[in-house]
Structure 1
Amino acid sequence: MSFVRRYLLPRLITYFLVVFVGLTIVFFLPRFLPSDPIQAYIDRLITQGGNLNPEYFNKLVETIKELYGLQGSLWNQYVNFWKRLLKGDFGPSYFQFPTPVMKLIRQSLPWTAWLLFVTTVISWIIGNILGGLAGYFSDKKWVKILDGIAMVIRPMPYYILALGLLILLAYIFPIFPIGGGFAIGMKFTFSWENLLILLKHAFLPALSLVLIGVFSWFQAMKLVVQSVKTEDYVKYAKMGGVEERRIVRRYVIRNAMLPQITGLALSLGQIFGGALITEIVFSYPGIGSLLYNAIFTGDYNLLMGISTLSILLVTTSILVIDLLYPLFDPRVRYR
């Protein structure tokens, strides 16, 4: 009962409060954008040669307002926003009308999720292992080599590294496809041949994300381990004749992993941030490309759908890690 009252309940309250505030911001923010989706839709009809009869103009405007949730006062729009949100209905997309927003998200999310989730986890594991060993054995020659590589790759803007890999391995040496997530005109079915095509298209974007991610986690973990290894309990373990391998694994890296676990939760929640640049550079289908089109066309419904999904993913991942934290840190269980 003490765990529920002192640990679980405050975190659940914070979780729902953050979700509520975040979704409220998602509602108001697109309405302050300079673009007007209704006027943009009418302008598009005019440029395509559409003839707007004045008799039906007001009816058309009212219909579009209803589709975009812009009907009535701001308060009415806000109430309707929550009603539609609880039903999982964000209405139709503007630039792919009349396709529902949720259908577009369901089509794009698997591409982003598997690529960025897998690369984030891989880079986190490799980066923390290398960083933990490098922080403890900092005088080794291989550590200095990795430090030199990290100093070059880590500060490099992501799009520069991505474009460099694209030019090198897709243009100069045409080993991998220039862009896309699958072969053009082919329908994906589960077979070894199609799986290889899928992996070939995903290799360059995955490699660029892993390289940046590995050296980011490497440097962070190395600094934490260098601080942890100077603690008194590590010195006492050495004086007590504890095997060095055990000291590294059980005393140093295990304690240094705690802030890295929190960082992993934030990284998993913020995969849409990496999706935007990755998918634009490599023409990769997914949430990033969808978000870019939504911003470019002023698609209110699609912007709110993607932003809502991002907020829920970030807050939920942090909540899950926070609830699992007592399993990693005995001090939390003690308190």
Structure 2
Amino acid sequence: MMANDQELMMSIRAAIDDCTRGVDEATSLRYKVLRKAKGEEPMVKKISMTLVIALVILALAAVAVAATVLWKDAGEKVAELEGEYGYYDTWDTATKIELVRDLYEMEALKGNADAERLLKGEGMTDAEKDALCDRIMLDYIGEDRVDLICLETILSTLRDVEGGTPAWSVEDKYWYNQMLDKYGMLSSESQRFILPEEGEINQEEAVRIARTLLESVSDKDLDDGIMSPYFEENPAFGYRRIWTIWYDLRTDGEFRGNPLYVYLKPDGTVLSYHIPELYSLDLMGVLPDDEAIPEEQALEIGRKAIAEKLGVPEDEVSSLKAYYTEIEAGHSKAVDGVMGQHVWLVDYAEQNMFAAIKPDGTLMTVRNR
């Protein structure tokens, strides 16, 4: 049982203890027990509704913990085989059968008639057993190519979370990293997931900060059901400890556009953010510097410049949005700036046009996207 599972069970038991606290000290209850012992009166056993609810919660939590142990233990089995023998499509028949047996005994393939027939092994050649193993595993992961049977697809099936492994909690991702390392499968290119330490924000706090920011700068619908949290030693930031909260945009489960994401320091400070509105210029949003002009002033400067460029009255230029951004490498010409420079970008989506303004209010350029 993992440490966080133990903590969960301990907190539930503590809740039950709270429900029954005071029983030992209850004078009236001791008196009733003595009278019952003397045969003076019947004693009716009563259980409070609070205790009943607590016991139900304990039972449900035990089931949840068991499910967690199942998928992690089963994942360990798959990782052990893949670490020793390579990818599934290179395995011999005996190793494939070992995988099916492990998953069956751990109830991942519980009730699977083909698995039961395979493990009986009666009246089948080795070639037939090999083909049946492939069919069992392909049906299990919902794919049609043997080369897709691997640790990640099996784990994604075991841990049935919408969005797959990217949507796992940071605790689960950290466990995954540790498991890969244990079996020699963690490459130098692999993401290095970590856990928050004392003084660093947790996943819930990181999501709250990121969501609040993204909702303030974009009108896109954010679905926490397909949100991906990462806490890692990020190579893009010199392997500093960085939170990334990532939202895909989807319709009916299908990817439908550029993602939204926020980078945070471990203490919750926003480093930068990305939204589709900035994607065409590959600009990253940042929070305004202390010396930068206010957003309202940037909007007015942008409105005037765009109206002049179009040759229309200023009041005809409406629905502007302002973003404070950092110019990325290779896109300095788009806004007449240099890499790393901060600018106000005033976007006029109706005419596919923007104005770039320096933090001090100096107009840099007005042009089409």
Over alpha carbons, which structure has the higher Rg? 2
- Per the normalisation by structure 2, the TM-score is 0.21
- Per the normalisation by structure 1, the TM-score is 0.22
Higher strand proportion, which one?
Answer: 2
Higher helix proportion, which one?
Answer: 1
